[in-house]
A and B are shown apart, each in its own frame.
Chain A
Amino acid sequence: MIMVTDTAAPATESAIVESIRVAVPEHGLQHDLRAISIVWRRELIRFRTDRLRAVTALVQPILFLFILGTGLSSLARGSMPGNVDFKTFIYPGVLAMSVLFTAIFSAGSIVWDREFGFLREILVAPVSRASIVIGKCLGGATIATFQGIIFLALAGFAHVPYNPVLLLTLVGELLLLSFTLTAFGVMMAARITQFQAFMALTQMLVMPLFFLSGALYPLSGLPGWLTILTRIDPLTYVVGPMRHAVFSHLSLPTGAQHVLAPGLTWAGWAVPVWLSLGIVAVMGLAMMSIAIEQFRKTE
């Protein structure tokens, strides 16, 4: 039953369609960049349309900063060196946490895409697996950093100054952290085929990562076993520099800064900030490479 009324349109219509020439080009850098860009843009579109996710991702860091932070600051009042608010102390760590879930879960969408078929549309495209994974990692890093920036807006409530240099430093560090976390998530997602399993596994890993990062306590004067555990937690190497950045923008007596933000040490040797961040970057790149390799495999 054809119900289309045919009027004077065909001439214009065919003028449009006849001119179409589609020839899918041979593989090239240009093509890879377009692929990276579209995978990245899809992450952004989905983040923009899913406002609920952005709001719910804020809940946990807000709980830590304002509930736990306020509660413990009454306990710590007077005993904090330089009269620093406990909220200020945990702010860098909680800021790192604000991107933790968003980054890893954005990688989890690969598992989701696999379950709902969209991954197949991606995997059958004539495009390198590397550009897909890179696009995904950059996409996750971008939206997680956005998430971090929302939380960064609350810095004033923790008595952290809105200093442009400080803010830019923190955003840069968040971007690096988000990239590495997404790469970690993508690497896991390459192997895990069920969303439930992915969620369970990442939930299990995220909290230890957070607690061992020194987000809630200084890294000096810990028992030996805890010192070792904190040093193998990759998150430590971002939380340290972030706290360093925050505390170097506070006017504090040197003694207080030394106690609260002692800087990271390996058996007494102070790890410079650049090395600390370099470790995180190398880990991110390594995990991304593993992910690319895993996506190259065919059943």
Chain B
Amino acid sequence: MSPTVRRQNPIPVPARLVSGVTVSIPPSTTGSQPLTMAAADGPADGAAGGPRPVIEVAGLAKRYGEVEAVRGIDLTVRAGETFGFLGPNGAGKTTTIKILCTLANATSGSARVAGFDTATQRDAVRRNIGLVFQDTTLDGYLTAEQNLRFHAELYGVPKAAVLPRMRQVLDMVGLWDRKDSLVSTFSGGMQRRLEIARGLLHAPHVLFLDEPTVGLDPQTRSSIWAYINELKGREDITIFLTTHYMDEAEHCDRIAIIDHGQIVAIDTPEALKASIGKDRVQIQTADDQAAIAALAGTFGLDAAVHEGAVTFSVASGEQFVPRLFTELGIPIRSVSVSRPSLDDVFMSYTGKTIRDAEASGTDAMRQMAARFRGRR
């Protein structure tokens, strides 16, 4: 009997149709070690008393010739967490993910994923992780189903489980009815969804998403996030993602902010925002330079032009605005007051907005080339 799912939206948001259904991954005797039993050497730091962290990184560094891409990172990710790795392009996010996924060797330091060392127990790590890369890694000349089959065979998914599991992951991303289409005919958003489905096919413990929404339009971006959030409810999985979109970090349980290869802050999004404590005020004025001077002179505030507006941080922004109008002495065209966002967090820790950081990024060209290739 075919399931009577009628989708009318070209980009279907995952429905609660099969809610309550979970894929149980039994503690396998043959390899995929359950995380709670993976106690090997020493107690886990970061999660006192709880299960061992799924990802443990200590003093990780990577150098490419003269360039220090990653300079000593420490972090732990607990089971079931959605952990965001946030930073401008070229900050070292992709390099870190490559090390965690066994695609690159660390110059120094160590990383354990799902209880296995990424340098010495590669195959064990590979069995337990799913990956969605920044650039597409699908074969456009194969159909969606052929791409998944390729993956299933390469990962040694038991033959009897291949078809039902394939159906399940394709249903999850709303692509089951397109399984026989060539991947080259898929839109960018569909390809990304297919990659997510493929990354889940072998029921990994950890799913790595490297910039899962880069290069997609806002509507598709939010639908990808709907799928990711849906997936967290269905699968027993830990998600490690990188992004340079500040708003996406809000979807994470915890985030680490990385800049120039170092972690500058690591906490929940709420805690990071609370640590700022100030509101962000942006004003449009007739004379920005005069306004900046006046803000410094009259109020002792440090302001700068960001995104075309005079921007500064001040405690209790709403109460400050009336004073601003009466005391600044420069005509103000518009005012906006916002609660601290992750953008402000980034700014307060690195002294620049993420866009400013990207503009000066050394690998902006490389990034563009990569995106161009990804789009094909």
Count of chain B residues near A, Cβ 8 A? 71
Q: Which residues of A contact B6 (CB under 8 A)?
A: 4-5
Known contacts being A42-B139, A45-B142, A121-B151, is A26 close to B103, with CB within 8 Å? no
- The secondary-structure label for the interface of chain B is loop
Q: Which listed residue (B12, B151, B161, B373) contacts A3, Cβ 8 A?
A: B12
- Check B164 against A16 for contact (C-beta < 8 Å): yes
Render A114-131 as a binary contact track against B, CB cut-off 8 A, 1 for contact. Answer: 011110111111110000
B15 touches A24 (CB 8 A): no
Q: A5-B6, A27-B123 known; A115 and B30 CB under 8 Å?
A: no
Contacts of A1 in B (CB 8 A): 9, 13
**B103 adjacent to A124 (CB under 8 Å):** yes
Asked whether A4 lies within 8 Å of B15 as measured between CB atoms, the reply is yes
Decide yes or no whether A56 CB sits under 8 A from chain B: no
Q: Which residues of B contact A21 (CB under 8 A)?
A: 24-26, 158, 161
B203 within 8 A of A: yes
Please tell me which stretch of A7-15, A227-235, A242-250 contacts chain B, meaning at least 4 of its Cβ atoms lie within 8 angstroms of it. Answer: A7-15
Complex Cα distance, B32 from A162, in Å, reads 56
Q: How far is the CB of A8 from chain B (nearest CB, A)?
A: 7
Stretch at the interface among B129-137, B292-300, B311-319: B129-137
Interface contact tally, CB-CB below 8 A: 179
Interface string of A30-45 (1 = CB under 8 A from B): 1100110111001001
A-facing residues in B156-173 (Cβ within 8 Å): 156-158, 161, 164-165, 167-168, 171
A174 to B373, CA, bound (A): 36
What CA separation (Å) do A27 and B124 show in the bound complex? 9
B320 at the interface (CB under 8 A from A): no
Contacts of B67 in A (CB 8 A): none
* B106-135 interface (Cβ within 8 A of A): 122-124, 126-129, 131, 133, 135
Asked if B141 lies at the interface with its beta carbon under 8 angstroms from chain A, I say: yes
Which of B103, B105, B126, B203 is within 8 Å of A22, CB to CB?
B203
Of the residues A20, A25, A37, contact of B164 by C-beta under 8 Å = A20
Residues of B with C-beta under 8 A to A49 = 141
Cβ–Cβ contact A22 & B156, under 8 A: no
| Residue in B17, B32, B140 whose beta carbon sits within 8 Å of that of A4 in the complex | B17
Tell which of B13, B32, B135, B141 touches A24, judged by Cβ atoms closer than 8 Å.
B32
The residues in B between 52 and 102 inclusive whose CB is less than 8 angstroms from any CB of A are 98, 101-102
With an 8 A cutoff between CB atoms, is A19 at the interface? yes
A24 touches B156 (CB 8 A): yes
User: A298 touching B104 by the CB < 8 A rule?
Assistant: yes
Known: A298-B104, A299-B103. A35 touches B168 (CB 8 A): no
Contact residues in B for A42 (Cβ distance below 8 Å) = 139, 142, 146, 150
| Chain A residues, Cβ within 8 Å of B28 | 23-25
B156 in contact with A115 (CB, 8 Å)? no
| Residue numbers in B under 8 Å from A39 (CB-CB) | 154
The residues of A with any CB-CB pair to B shorter than 8 Å are 1-10, 12-14, 16-27, 30-31, 34-35, 37-39, 42, 45-46, 49-50, 113, 115-118, 120-127, 298-299
5 extra interface residue pairs, beta carbon distance < 8 Å, beyond A123-B103, A124-B103, A127-B156:
A10-B17, A23-B158, A121-B137, A126-B123, A298-B103
The 5 closest A-B pairs by CB, nearest first: A38-B153, A126-B126, A4-B15, A23-B28, A22-B203
Query: What are 21 inter-chain pairs, A to B, with CB distance below 8 A?
Result: A1-B13, A7-B4, A9-B4, A13-B171, A20-B23, A22-B23, A22-B165, A23-B31, A24-B128, A24-B156, A24-B157, A25-B28, A25-B158, A34-B153, A42-B142, A49-B141, A116-B373, A117-B138, A121-B131, A126-B126, A298-B104
